[in-house]
Structure 1
Amino acid sequence: MLQGRASTAKRAKPTILEAVQIVTVKHIVLFTLKNGIDIDDARVQQAAMFSASHVDNIADIRSWETGFDIGRRRAVSADFAVIGTFSDTDAVARYLMHPHHRDGVAKWREIARWTVIDLEY
C-alpha cells in the first residue's frame, strides 16, 4: 500500500440492519443456598437486598431483576436469581470488576453456590 494516497475502492453501504445492529447481553445468575441455610437467614436477606441495589450503584446496568423462587421447590430449583441487561460484553466486564458487585460476591460466597450464563442477543 502506498503511503499518503487515499483509497479509491468503493465500499457498499451497510444495510439498515447492519447499521442499526445493537447487541446486548443478558447476564443471568442462579443462586442455590448451601446446606443448612434457608431464605429466612438474615445473611440471605441482606445479600438479596444488596444484589437488588446493584442497579442503583452500577451505571453499566441497563435493566435489573432479582427474586426468590416462588416456592414450588423441586430438586433442581435455584433459590434466588439475578437477571441483568448490559449494552455489550465490555459493560459486563466493567460490572464484574465494579466494587459494588465484588462486595455482593463476597456476601453470597459464604451462603450460596451459583451458576452464571451470559447470553448475547
Structure 2
Amino acid sequence: MIRHLVLFKLNDGVTRDEPRVRAGVRAFEELGGTIPELEHWECAWNITDRPIAYDYAINSAVADVDALKRYIEHPAHQAAAAQWREFATWVIADYPF
C-alpha cells in the first residue's frame, strides 16, 4: 500500500468561506467515491491555529505505485487540483506502509 498525504496552505488573503474554496473542498470530498484506485480517502480542514500549520489535509491510500499514477492522472483528480491551484499551495508525501 502507498499512503498519499497532501497538506494545503491557503494563499494570503484567501479565506475558507470563499465560494471558490468551498467548491474546491466539495471537489475533493467527492473524489473518494469517484476514483476506484482510492482504497482510503479522507480530507478535512485543520482544526489548530499555529504559525507552521497548513490549512487543509488529504490522507489517502492506494494499492501500489501504478494505482497512485492512475489516481494522479484521473480527470476528476486533475480537475479538483486545478481548482486549488488558484488559491493555495501544497506539499505532498507518498510512502509505502
How many equivalent residue pairs? 97
**Structure possessing the higher relative contact order (Cα contacts under 8 Å, 6 or more residues apart):** 2
**Cα deviation, residue 88, structure 1:** 0.5
Taking the aligned partners of 2:70 and 2:53, their CA distance within structure 1 comes to 29
Determine the structure 2 residue equivalent to 1:15. none
Determine the structure 2 residue equivalent to 1:116. 92
Runs of 4+ in 1 over 6 A off after TM superposition: none
Which ranges in structure 1 are unaligned for 5 or more consecutive residues?
A: 1-23
- Whether 1:98 and 2:74 are equivalent positions in the alignment is yes
Q: Deviations over 1:14-57 (max 9, x none)?
A: xxxxxxxxxx0010000000001011111111101110111111
Query: Root-mean-square deviation (CA), in Å?
Result: 0.7
- Whether 1:37 and 2:14 are equivalent positions in the alignment is yes
| 2:25 counterpart (45, 48, 52) | 48
Taking the aligned partners of 2:16 and 2:23, their CA distance within structure 1 comes to 10
TM-score (norm 2): 0.97
Which ranges in structure 2 are unaligned for 5 or more consecutive residues?
A: none
1:69-80 to structure 2, matched below 5 A, reads 69-70=46-47, 72-80=48-56
Determine the structure 2 residue equivalent to 1:6. none
Q: Secondary structure at the match of 2:27?
A: helix
